[in-house]
Every structure is written in structure tokens, then in C-alpha cells.
Structure 1
Amino acid sequence: MSRLRQFAAPKASKPADAAGWTLAALMIAALAGLPIGAVLWASLAGAGEGLRDLAATVLPTYIANTALLMLLAGGIAASVGTGCAWLIAATRFPGRRLLGWALVLPLALPAYLAAYIYADMLDFAGPVQTALRAATGWGADDYALPDIRSLGGGAFVLGFVLYPYVYLLARTAFATQSRTQFRAARSLGARPARAFWQVALPAARPAIAGGLALVLMEVLADFGVAEYFAIPTFSTGIFRAWLAMGDKAAALKLAAVMLVFVIALVTWEARTRRGRSDSRDGLAARPNDDDPLVALSALGQGLALVACMIPVLIGFVLPAAYLASLALTDTAQAAAGELPAYLRGSLWLGLATATLCLFAALLLAFARARSPSGAVASAIRVATLGYALPGALLAVGLLVPLGSFDQSLTRFARDNLGWSGGLLLTGTSALLVYALSVRFMTVAYNSVSSGLARIPPGLDAAARSLGAGPARVLARIYAPLLAPSLAGAGALVFIDTLRELPATLILRPFNLETLATRTYRLASDERLVEAAIPALILLAAGLLPVLVLNRLGKR
């Protein structure tokens, strides 16, 4: 019995083992932090003159458009997400359970696909204006619809595609906060609207702010919507400076200013997580469908149903239905002959990125478990910052240092080994896989780390006490128990890689075309019908992470 007690708790790692895990975590953090370091270094090198030139030309436009786009899209997402979350959590109306799940579906639709679809639907020759002319007999000069290809149109698309970030966190906050406090306010004479504004909303404000921070990060990182709607933002500015004008210095300066926005949003998001308060009580743990916080009349139930249906229709149902109708046309099916080549490129890229992310995430998770030091915690924080880095910033931040290293390596190989095959790293798929792994490391690490935390550490100690070596412990204990987490993490990274656009456009080699880049090129040439099938595949692939997010939100 004493021997069993001896191995009931895990042994501390040996100093040598802990140092090895710490070193592995620091190496991964150094590789993941390379683009941030490159951008910061470039911002310090000749910063005054470069920024003065940008400030006199394009920088004010980029700052104004980016800030205004974030403000408008964030306002739409916060209003829609918070309102729908309150209706789902606090009231009861027909279809509430179905809509509680369906309100997350817009996240399955990449924002750039929604931009292509709505631009085509609302175009002069599109179905909306055609039907309007047929129904009214009006001519083109008799009415004027708002131009969707504008900053307001971009905010509309981004707001209705990204509001589920706010909805998920707000729904959880409303469902778990104290019902007693709300009812106490009602008993003191407060009407439901006043009790919502003064009791429920302040308690849920940290969660809403956290969701809004995620929305703003996505808006800042957006390239497809801004580029297609001709909105000059930081992402489009970096892309044009780097590829269109070949001005690397300007692209790096823009990336440095963009990094200031990123740091502000990351800091805000971290503060909202630290600031969340827990006001739940016993009644909140089990909401009763027969005893809602706010009882609605028949008219109120109908209005609540409509209010929750509109975001789902705008953000998912209408675009998905329109895309499916285009995919059934002969033109779309004739263009699908080249689809296998794009599928192979996407599958290869997704599998390579998922494999690299899983390997690095396992190292980080085990380093945290075996060597829980401050250095490891800091390394993990740096290594998982990729979720906040826009694809354009990440691509530019990697190209500069790796391009210089590649030129030196190629020069050495040419002078000493007779190599004459050109650059070894830049312009290859390896660089793209590296960049995407940095971008989506957070997705893999969160899943693997949560799976590892559910494994009792005593199993490891017991197996070691029975003579099992590290390899056998890994194969017989950790591999089977971590398999679901690894599969989920790999699937999420794979799907995110399929949908990534700006980093893939900048870093991909000339012989690699993915579903996302093919859809972008066809839509840019006003050939959305030919892009319908690859776009529909991207939309279908996005349903998996949406289902995972919805499940986590309910938990």
C-alpha cells in the first residue's frame, strides 16, 4: 500500500529533463516570434523618415479606413450578437432551440466569400435588382440601391459574418449569471428593458468585450473583403506595397503600424478575460424553459423569432443558398474539371500545416506539464500569439529575415558546392507551411493542452514504476488518451489552412493553387459562377469548427 501511495502523485521532472523541455519551448517561441521581431526591427530602422513619407501619403487613409471599418463592423457584431444572445438565454419563443444553434452558422462562411456573393447578388444584373425592376416596372434611373462595394458594405458583410464571436460568449454569460439579481430588480419595479441595461448587461460586459475583441482582430486581419470592395486598409496596403510596387520598406512600416493595433487588441482581450466576474447562483445552472427571465407576449415571441432569424438568413442561409444555386449551373460544373488540382494543393498544404502544428503543440503542452516555469509560460504565450497576427503582417514579417538568410545560404551553396538552382527557401511551400503553422499554432495548442490536462499524471508515474520506458508510456498511455484531442486539433488547423487567403497569396509558390486562392482569382475576374463549387467546398469545411465552437459555448 505504501508503494502505491508513493506513485499516486507524479514525480517532479529531473533538472536535466526540465531544462530540455524549457529549451524546446523557447526554440518554438523563437521561431513563432520571428515575424514580430522582424517587423519591430524594421520599424526601428529608419523609422522617422519612412513613417514621415507614409504619413504624407497613404498612412492617414489606411488608419481612418481601418478604424472606421472596425468601428462599424464591431458595432453591428456587438449589437446583433448581444441582442440575440439575450433573447436565446432569457426568453422563450417558438424555434428558440433551433435558432440557438443556427445563430453560430455564419462563422462557417469566410468573410471574403460573403463579399463575393453579396456583390454578385446586389449587382445591377444580379437577382435582387433584376427582380425589383421586373416587379415594379422601374428603370435603372428610377431607384438607387446603396453600393455594396463600399466601406459601409464591407462593415455590413463583416458584421453579419463575425457576430457569432460576440453571441457565443454573451449567450454563456447571460445563461450563467445570477437570475436572482435580475428578478430582484424586477421586484423593485424595474421594467425588463431597464433590468437588462442596469443588471444583466453590466454583468455580461466582460464577456461581450472579449467577443468584440475577437471580432476586431478578424476585421483588422481581413484582406478579401477590403480588397474586393476597394477599401484601402492596412492589409490591402501591405499587399500592394509588397507585391504591386515592390516597396519592401513601406510594407514593413505599414506592418509595424498595424502591429500597434494588434498589440492593443491582444491587451484588451487579455484584460477582459482577467476582469470577468462570476455572479451565477444555483438557479442559473439549470435554466427552466417553463420559467424564463422575461415572459413574452404572442407578438413579442413573433418579433423575437424574426429578430433571431434575420442574422442567420443574412449571414448564412441566403449566401449558402445562392452559392448552391450557382454550383448547379452548367458553367460551374464545366469549370470543376480543374478542381482535383486545387484540391490536391489544399489537401497537401492543410496536412503539412496540421502535422507541424500538432508536433509543436505536443512539445509545448508537455513542456508546460514537465517544466512549469515562468520561462515556459512566457514561451507558450509568444508561440500562441499567431491567432492575433494578420496574414499579411505575418507573411511580410517572415519574408524579410528568411529572404536575407536564404540569399546568404544560396550564395554559400553556389560558391562552395557549385549550386546553381536559385533560392532554397523563399518561394517554396516550406515557407508557406511555416507561416501558416505560426498563424494556427494557438488552435492546436489549446486542444492538445486541454486533452493533456485531463490525463491523470499518476498514470505516467505508475507506468514508470512498473518498468515502462518513455517510448512505451507515450505509445500505451498518452497516444490513446490524446487521440481525440489530436484529431480535433488537426481537423481545425486543416480547415483554417484551407480558408486562409492573404498569407497564402503572398507566400505560395507559383505552382501551388488552393481552393481559397482559386476562388479569389475567379471572383476578382467577376467569374463567381466558375468559383461556386470550390467556394461551396470551403463553406462546407467551415461547418466543423462552427459545431465545435457551439458545443464549447453550451458547455
Structure 2
Amino acid sequence: MTTDLWRPSSLKLEETKGARPRSRGRAHAGRAATAIAIATAILVAAPVISIVSLALQPAGDVWHDLINYVLPAALRDTALLLVGVGALTLLIGAGTAWVMSRHDFPGRGMLLWLMPLPLAIPTYLAAYVYADLFEPLGLVHRTLAIWLPLGDALGLLPNLRSLPGAIFVIGLVLYPYVYLAARATFQVQSAEFAEAATTLGAGRWTIFWRVSLPMARPALAVGVALVALETLNDIGASEYLGIRTLTVSIFTTWLNRGSLAGAAQLACLMLAIVAGLIAMERYGRRNASIAFSAESPHVRQRTPLSGARAWIAFAVCVLPVLIGFVVPLSYLAHQALGRGLLTNFDPLLWRHTFHSFAFAALATLMALMLALATTIAHRFRPDPLRYLVMSIAQTGYALPGLVIALGLLTPVLAVDNAMSVVAAWIGRSSPGLILVGSGMAVVIAYTIRFLAVPVGMIKAGFDSIPRDYDESARTVGAGQAVMLRQIYLPLLRPAMLGAVIVMFVDCLKELPATLLLRPLNVETLSTSIYQFASRGNFEDGALAALLIVAASIGPVAWLTKFSDVPSGPA
């Protein structure tokens, strides 16, 4: 993008009668953006502040039961699940990323588009599908029983309703976080390092373990941290597979034991775990290695594979896609067609789809405006305060949806009660629970949780716009409104479009916050699937699940536009 996209002469058309009003307008616009940015940071911090205040309240006798019967198993299962899923995603993600970055083989071009697609399958959908496939009298058992006696067939089936089963299911749909981060590093590493290792007699595997992998450590730390945060956020898969994680324990303490204070205290414990994960991610990115050499900046040439090696490379990369995406998608399509869900269309599905899309669209619009104001405030005046505000705005993604829902409950009810008091004071009838009853609580939760997506993307877009543009615009007397309209917004359009796509789909898939904050008698696609699974007839929600997956495929495939870099000369 060059400065030819706009010309000073066009900016002169926006001039008004004097410089002083424009200067005053610039100051007013900057202060307005800063005020919105500070309000955004307060909004993101509100759930955490609310949880801490709730946790200070007495929880009665609930902690006796929690310590004796809940916490030991919850902490053990949570730790083992995080370690297991992290190790599995690291193995699959880093391994396939290295194969795809370092080798050429038949089918590689197709795999570039397929490898990230398991992200289109929410963890709870994968759990529902595989538990149904491997249960006794399920499809896998019926297939085995054709060739084996009943007892032998049952003996061969893995028990997916277990901790190893949860690790397998969750890991196979979350590995693209590590894969995308690792590929972004592997494919741009300078050839000089590998050539030096080869000169010293290092083989292919030695180069991978001693050169490529250590240099990719910062990217791997980011990918594994994202996997850990998504695993902590999960409630549908863990609960359905019988894993009593800390997230599930917070859910049951709040709803089944009726202890909001006890749930808040458990949520504080989860926040401490989240802080530990973030600290580990920062530690993993310390002393980040430089991938390029100043003297030899060319990237490594991919090694062509043929014969058995090509088939092995293809199989290694395609197997995670088959298990993490193709099998769940095929099963959902089979159930939707086999049960006649398309011909006997449930009219309620239209309502659930409308609720899902309405909540997601409103949250995306709100987050986009808040993110734009936050990043503009930092752009106009990049001081420590605005940097801190922007950093706080990006912390929402680290908060599990259940924790956000728990933290929003008190502030949202306080606002609703305040509006009722105001209505009574002016002689009007009580409006009721406006924020909760209208679904705005769900929209606010989505905004807080996924605000990091538009903030990060728009900030990256601003970083690619030279500050010379700002100085040139100010030289011809253009105010901030003109700069925003004629410079920033046109150049930020790709980043904003990407943010809208990614956040909208994330909102569609979000289950914990939606489950707890949705109005009474209001269901979304995700909560309707959860209700079907809770009643033991998940298959009846196959069409709703397909809608979520179909909406997610496009944005996930869109990520592949950043995935390939031409290999350098040998």
C-alpha cells in the first residue's frame, strides 16, 4: 500500500475556515476515543472485579463438600487434561507444520486448505459425535460386530467417556492453533542455520530437534497457550465425557449447590491458573530467536518427496484432518439426512438460528466499534496509559466464558435494578430485567470474551500504516475525522473484515456464557445442541450442529491465505 492511495489535494477539500477549529476538533476526537477506550477497559475488567467481590462473601458450608469431594478430583483432572491436550496438540501441530513447511509431496496443496479445518468443529460437537460413534451399539461397534463376536467387539472399543478420551477428542480439534503458529515460524526460518548444521554433519532429524524446534519455541508457546485457554473454557465436552474439571465444578457449584459465592471462589482459583498459563507462555517466548540472517535472508527450499516417503508424509498430515474434521462432519450430515431433519424441518430451528446470528452480529458490531476507538486512541497518542488500556481490552480472551458469565451476573442485575428504581421514581411501571431478558447480557459477554480479536487485528492493521501518512495529513490541515475516513478506514478494511469474520464465528460457537446468560425460553444453536445432548438424543440436533460447522468453514479456510510462503533458492 502506497501513499498514492490518497493525495493532499483531496484532503484540502475537507478544510474548513480556520486551523483553530480543526485543532480543537482533533483534541475533542482524541479525548472521545480515549474516554471510550477507558470505558472499554473497565467493561473488560468488570467481571474480574465482580468475581473477586463475590468471592469475599461467605460461602457457608459448601467448602467442606468442595474440599472433600470436588476439588481434589477437579484439580487433578484439570491438570491432566491440560497437560494431555497440550502434549497431543504440540505433537500433531508441530509435527505436521514441519512436514508441510519443509517438504513437497503430492496432495500438499490440498492439505494447505484442509489442515486448519478442525477449528470449525467446536469441542463439544466433537465429543458428542465420538461418544455416539464408540458407545456400545454405536456405529463403530456395529461395524466390528459384523466380523467379530459381540464380546470381542466390545473389548476392542476404547472408552471415550474418560480422561484419555477427552484428551483425544479435544486435542484433535484444537491442534490447528499450534499448527498455524508453528508453520508461520518454520516456513520463514533462514536457510543459513540449517546449512550450517548440515555442514557440521547434522541429519534431518537432528536439524529439526536442535535447530528448527528451538527457534520455533515462541510460536509454539503461543499456540499451546491458546489450546490451554480453550480447554479451560470448554464445558460441553468435559461434562459429556464425564471429566469433572474445574470449569464443570464451577458450573455445578453455582447451579446445583446454589452457592454463588462458592462458585466465585472457585473462579478465582481458575483465574490464578489462567495467570499461570499466561506467565508460562511469556516465559516460553523469552529470548526469542531471530529466524533470518542479515547476510543470508533466503528461506529454505522445500525437499521434494516421492514414493513411500511422499505417501507417509501425506498420511501423517491427512490423518488429523480426517479424525478432527471429516469424520464429525460426515457423521452430522449422515444423521441429518438419515433422520429426515431437512425434509421434516423443525420450525424452532429458525428461531434458534435467528437468536444465534442476532447475538453474534450485535456483539461483533459492538466489539468492532470499541476496538476501533481503543486502537485509534493509542494511535493518536501512544502513551503508557493508552497502551495499558489497550492491553486490558485484549485480556478478555484469557477469561473462560463461564467466568465471564459469573462475573457479569451481579453488574447486569444491578443495572436492571437501577433502571427499575428510576422507572418507579418517575412514576413508570418497572421495565423488568432489560439486560438479562433481552439477551444483551449475552452480547456483553461475547464482546468481553472476544474483543481481543478485533483489537489485535486492527492494531496490526495500524502498525502497517506508516506514521508519515498522519504527518502529511496534518500538514494540509486535515482533522482526525478526515484522517479516519480517508486514510485509516480504507487501509484497515482487510483487518476489520477479518476481525468481523473470526469474531462472528467465535460467538456462534460459544457455549458456556450463552448457556448461563441467555434469557428464559431462548435457545441458540449451541445451547439447543447442548439440550439435545443432555437428554441423550444428540442426533436430533445434527442439523443445528451442521449450521455451526458450515458457518465456521469459510473463516477457518480464510486463514490459509496467510499459510504459505514460497521456498527460497537452494
Give the alignment's TM-score, normalised by structure 2: 0.88
Q: 1:447 to 1:142 in 2, by over 3 A?
A: closer
2:324 to 315, 322, 346: 315
Partner amino acid, structure 1, of 2:408: L
1:256 to 248, 254, 268: 268
2:75 to 63, 83, 87: 63
Q: 1:499 to 1:55 in 2, by over 3 A?
A: same
Q: 1:12 to 1:158 in 2, by over 3 A?
A: farther
**Structure 1: 5+ residue stretches without partners:** none
Q: 1:420 to 1:175 in 2, by over 3 A?
A: closer
Q: Secondary structure at the match of 2:104?
A: coil
Q: 1:330 to 1:141 in 2, by over 3 A?
A: closer
Q: 1:324 to 1:37 in 2, by over 3 A?
A: same
1:288 to 281, 301, 308: 301
Partner of 2:338: 329
2:130 to 118, 139, 159: 118
RMSD: 3.0
Distance 1:173 1:456 in 2: 25
Q: 1:178 to 1:484 in 2, by over 3 A?
A: closer
CA contact (8 A) 1:335 1:530 kept: no
Q: 1:61 to 1:413 in 2, by over 3 A?
A: farther
Q: 1:358 to 1:335 in 2, by over 3 A?
A: same
Instruction: Report deviation, 1:313.
Output: 0.8
Q: 1:459 to 1:83 in 2, by over 3 A?
A: closer
CA contact (8 A) 1:353 1:436 kept: yes
Distance 1:66 1:16 in 2: 49
CA contact (8 A) 2:59 2:261 kept: no
Matched length: 546
CA contact (8 A) 1:394 1:435 kept: yes
Of residues 178-187 and 442-451 in structure 1, the stretch that sits farther from structure 2 once superposed is: 178-187
Instruction: Report deviation, 1:202.
Output: 1.6
Distance 1:553 1:273 in 2: 21
Distance 1:191 1:469 in 2: 60
Partner of 2:103: 91
Q: 1:392 to 1:157 in 2, by over 3 A?
A: same
Instruction: Report deviation, 1:141.
Output: 7.2
CA contact (8 A) 2:416 2:432 kept: no
Distance 1:42 1:102 in 2: 45
| Pairing of 1:42-191 with structure 2 (within 5 A) | 42-46=54-58, 54-139=66-151, 143-191=155-203
Partner of 2:315: 306
Instruction: Report deviation, 1:257.
Output: 0.5
Partner of 2:381: 371
2:455 to 445, 456, 468: 445
Partner of 1:21: 33
CA contact (8 A) 2:144 2:153 kept: no
Distance 1:539 1:65 in 2: 28
Partner of 2:543: 533
Q: What is the CA deviation profile of residues 399-444 of structure 1, one whole-angstrom value per residue up to 9, with x for unaligned ones?
A: 1233244335434544663534533433431111111100111111
Q: Secondary structure at the match of 2:498?
A: helix
The yes-or-no answer on 1:36 pairing with 2:61 is no
Instruction: Report deviation, 1:195.
Output: 2.7
Partner amino acid, structure 2, of 1:367: A
Instruction: Report deviation, 1:371.
Output: 1.8
Q: 1:283 to 1:122 in 2, by over 3 A?
A: farther
Partner amino acid, structure 2, of 1:507: L
Partner amino acid, structure 2, of 1:214: L
Q: 1:171 to 1:325 in 2, by over 3 A?
A: same
Q: Secondary structure at the match of 2:145?
A: helix
Q: What is the CA deviation profile of residues 442-468 of structure 1, one whole-angstrom value per residue up to 9, with x for unaligned ones?
A: 111122223334445555565566566
Q: 1:401 to 1:130 in 2, by over 3 A?
A: same
Instruction: Report deviation, 1:117.
Output: 0.9
Q: 1:21 to 1:52 in 2, by over 3 A?
A: farther
Partner amino acid, structure 2, of 1:255: A
Partner amino acid, structure 2, of 1:107: L
Distance 2:173 2:540 in 1: 23
Partner of 2:19: none
| Pairing of 1:212-251 with structure 2 (within 5 A) | 212-251=224-263
CA contact (8 A) 2:221 2:285 kept: no
CA contact (8 A) 2:360 2:508 kept: yes
CA contact (8 A) 1:336 1:533 kept: no
CA contact (8 A) 1:69 1:151 kept: yes
Q: What is the CA deviation profile of residues 267-299 of structure 1, one whole-angstrom value per residue up to 9, with x for unaligned ones?
A: 23334445422132476644434xx2xx76733
CA contact (8 A) 1:22 1:375 kept: no
| Pairing of 1:353-502 with structure 2 (within 5 A) | 353-411=363-421, 413-414=423-424, 417-457=427-467, 459=469, 471=481, 473-502=483-512
Partner of 2:208: 196
Of residues 238-247 and 303-312 in structure 1, the stretch that sits farther from structure 2 once superposed is: 238-247
Q: 1:274 to 1:194 in 2, by over 3 A?
A: closer
Instruction: Report deviation, 1:201.
Output: 1.7
Instruction: Report deviation, 1:327.
Output: 1.9
2:354 to 319, 337, 344: 344
Distance 2:450 2:319 in 1: 31
Identical columns (%): 38
Distance 1:15 1:310 in 2: 57
Q: Secondary structure at the match of 2:85?
A: helix
CA contact (8 A) 2:112 2:560 kept: no
Q: Secondary structure at the match of 1:328?
A: helix
Q: What is the CA deviation profile of residues 128-153 of structure 1, one whole-angstrom value per residue up to 9, with x for unaligned ones?
A: 11010012344467624121111111
CA contact (8 A) 1:235 1:392 kept: yes
